[in-house]
Amino acid sequence: MDDILSLLTFIFFYTIFSCIFTFFLILMVRAIMRRSLRREQTTEKVLRNTFNAVKTMYFVIFLLFSGIPGAIMYWLKFRTPMMEEVRQNMIQRGYDVSDLK
């Protein structure tokens, strides 16, 4: 019984701390991304690469660093707004975004 209780306690705290860690990691990534979007000399290729990185690579990073709870939180809460922010920036600069989904 003691082993089961300690296992459940570990899982509970792991989930809480992984979500907190993922949240701070997401904030850091968003700050870096916004800084690159503010630059006037940012090319279309860089913006497309940023869009694709948000779409795929960050999900894998969060999955590796904070497990399933962090990856689910990232996918549901932060992925779409970050991708939309890059899309809107590309539209403001006059780039064609019809192929970005």
The rounded mean pLDDT for the chain is: 73
Q: Position of tokens 């800084």?
A: 35
Residues lower than pLDDT 70 in the chain: 1, 40-42, 55-80, 100-101
Tokens (6 digits) for 48: 């497309």
What pTM does this model have? 0.50
Domain positions in the chain: 2-92
pLDDT of residue 7: 81
CA distance 16 to 50: 29
pLDDT of residue 66: 63
Ramachandran category for residue 93: left, alpha or beta (phi over 0 → left; psi -120 to 50 → alpha): alpha
